[in-house]
A and B are shown apart, each in its own frame.
Chain A
């Protein structure tokens, strides 16, 4: 967005509470890699120039990438500046920070959707003898006590952390709710290559029948590893991770899991099939068939006949629980009537419901790729055009 504003000669400042790429520096675990291949983790005019385009960036590489971009575009960033409130004032906005206040006509929120880990309320009843961690607090298996670990949530974060902790020799139980299974490689190409080539990532928010539901869909259950392997539930089972259903309740030192595990996996397998069918149809219609391997399907997710419905924390030897149960945005500093009754910001493709207020980086904000690094460029281009028209007093079209 800053680059677009500079290109339009719109005077602006970028406020960052820490250093550039703050959350990548402070809220990621050590072994994390991006889910998207290097060639795709790009910003406009600033792609990957290394020798491993199909690899996946590590956290230090992401921090370096974003930092270099900021310097190259000479983004006017004010670091170590925490915003304490944004409110309406004088035909625009007053942004209060711990380094002083700003007055402006427009504000772009780029704080993301992953500020506060969602921990279910029953967690409060857990005994203090159990260590609980959220993903921003987790760094590596070395910080964990000996003993079993329960990972709650089986999307990208949950599966990656479960696998890593299992490899450390600890027993791992994974509580599985809704998840989006996908092969890392399909017909010899990265699944993200297909999503990009077939135009799936460019699908627009206003072309989707139920955008609210689409925005709540969990992240792909993918891992970026040098081996480009698929880390699905079958792979975790093969490693000895024990699968149970969605966490349903905690009481008296017992954790209860839903009996719906089998259907959760059936739903995920069917959804994956539909995605691969769509990819196959696109490949056939666009002359790709001869250039890639033939279609294939992953085996169904295997679930034991009667998965456990409860765990006694003491008897099971579980010492740590990791809540990979998603995030919600932090708008506690946003003093404007733009939130819906679930605390999410009201917006139309990133144009928030207060004039001159914009938001970026949310799931399916304008396109299916909006929350990916590769999605920022197109969204910024669209929204900066709207912002510019707004500043010039023209009635903007969205």
Chain B
């Protein structure tokens, strides 16, 4: 890399992350986090979700504000389109997680980013969710992420940023590996 870390500012406080890693290595209980979202049905396929509190570092935590999300189905599904579809939220999650990772890793490696944007596309055969064909899965048959990155780095360094981001991404892991899901009724 030709750029010294002192001049690079992608807005990520890498030192804080490094300190957190060191602190949590010796305090595994503090590293146990629990993230939450609350979802309320509105009408039809429209629901409204909020994200406010989470658990971590041994106690309840709160975001600065309550974040708010409307989800719905589009008109081609005979719905009202009050919000993005749930599967589009998953694509947003993946794009956000990988992009945040790219920024953090670039900061850590002393690479100045100028612009980063991604298109995230998930292919889906509706025969799955519509119960038409039991050999077709409900979810995506595949997801493709295409990044456009302008940075002070060689093409290989940029590829390495994107590869490392996937390696350490929570959402990438959630999507590419199985996760236990338990649904209860109170």
Residues of A at under 8 Å CB distance from B? 245, 248-249, 256, 258-260, 263, 266-267, 270, 273-274, 305-306
* Chain A: CB-nearest residue to B123: A306
CB of A245 within 8 A of CB of B159, answer: no
CB of A266 within 8 A of CB of B159, answer: yes
Expressed in whole angstroms, the Cα–Cα distance for A258 and B142 within the complex equals: 12
Expressed in whole angstroms, the Cα–Cα distance for A267 and B105 within the complex equals: 14
With A267-B167, A306-B142 known as contacts, the answer to whether A259 contacts B175 (CB < 8 A) is yes
CB of B163 within 8 A of CB of A248, answer: no
CB of B167 within 8 A of CB of A270, answer: no
Expressed in whole angstroms, the Cα–Cα distance for A249 and B180 within the complex equals: 11
CB of A249 within 8 A of CB of B166, answer: no
In the assembled complex, 24 residue pairs joining A and B whose CB atoms fall closer than 8 Å, in A order, are A245-B176, A248-B177, A248-B178, A249-B178, A256-B178, A258-B176, A258-B177, A259-B176, A259-B177, A260-B172, A260-B176, A263-B163, A263-B166, A263-B167, A263-B172, A266-B159, A266-B163, A267-B163, A267-B164, A267-B167, A270-B156, A270-B160, A305-B142, A306-B141
For B160, the chain A residues whose CB sits under 8 A away are 270
A310 to chain B, nearest CB (A): 10
* Chain A: CB-nearest residue to B157: A270
Count residues of chain B with CB under 8 A from any CB of chain A.
14
For B156, the chain A residues whose CB sits under 8 A away are 270, 273-274
For A245, the chain B residues whose CB sits under 8 A away are 176
For A266, the chain B residues whose CB sits under 8 A away are 159, 163
* Chain A: CB-nearest residue to B175: A259
Expressed in whole angstroms, the Cα–Cα distance for A77 and B167 within the complex equals: 46
Expressed in whole angstroms, the Cα–Cα distance for A256 and B142 within the complex equals: 15
**A contacts with B: majority SS:** mixed
* Chain B: CB-nearest residue to A270: B160
A85 to chain B, nearest CB (A): 29
A133 to chain B, nearest CB (A): 25
* Chain B: CB-nearest residue to A305: B142
For A305, the chain B residues whose CB sits under 8 A away are 142
A160 to chain B, nearest CB (A): 25
Expressed in whole angstroms, the Cα–Cα distance for A245 and B163 within the complex equals: 15
Binary contact readout B142-186 vs A (1 if CB under 8 angstroms, 0 otherwise): 100000000000001001100110110000100111100000000
A260 to chain B, nearest CB (A): 5
Expressed in whole angstroms, the Cα–Cα distance for A240 and B166 within the complex equals: 28
Expressed in whole angstroms, the Cα–Cα distance for A248 and B173 within the complex equals: 11
With A263-B166, A306-B141, A306-B142 known as contacts, the answer to whether A270 contacts B176 (CB < 8 A) is no
Expressed in whole angstroms, the Cα–Cα distance for A266 and B175 within the complex equals: 18
* Chain A: CB-nearest residue to B173: A260
For B164, the chain A residues whose CB sits under 8 A away are 267
Kindly list 16 other residue pairs between chains A and B, CB separation below 8 angstroms, not including A260-B177, A263-B166. Answer: A245-B176, A248-B178, A256-B178, A259-B175, A259-B176, A260-B172, A260-B176, A263-B163, A263-B167, A266-B163, A267-B163, A267-B167, A270-B159, A270-B160, A273-B156, A306-B142
Expressed in whole angstroms, the Cα–Cα distance for A165 and B142 within the complex equals: 31
* Chain A: CB-nearest residue to B178: A249
B117 to chain A, nearest CB (A): 19
B182 to chain A, nearest CB (A): 15
For A263, the chain B residues whose CB sits under 8 A away are 163, 166-167, 172
A248 to chain B, nearest CB (A): 5
For A270, the chain B residues whose CB sits under 8 A away are 156, 159-160, 163
Expressed in whole angstroms, the Cα–Cα distance for A263 and B172 within the complex equals: 11
A104 to chain B, nearest CB (A): 33
Expressed in whole angstroms, the Cα–Cα distance for A256 and B176 within the complex equals: 10
A312 to chain B, nearest CB (A): 12
> Contacting A260 at CB < 8 Å: which of B141, B159, B166, B178?
B166
For A274, the chain B residues whose CB sits under 8 A away are 156
Expressed in whole angstroms, the Cα–Cα distance for A267 and B165 within the complex equals: 10
Expressed in whole angstroms, the Cα–Cα distance for A273 and B163 within the complex equals: 14
For A260, the chain B residues whose CB sits under 8 A away are 166, 172, 176-177
For A258, the chain B residues whose CB sits under 8 A away are 176-177
B118 to chain A, nearest CB (A): 15
Expressed in whole angstroms, the Cα–Cα distance for A306 and B156 within the complex equals: 24
* Chain B: CB-nearest residue to A259: B176
Expressed in whole angstroms, the Cα–Cα distance for A263 and B166 within the complex equals: 7
Which of B164, B175, B178 has the most C-beta atoms of chain A within 10 angstroms of its own C-beta? Answer: B178
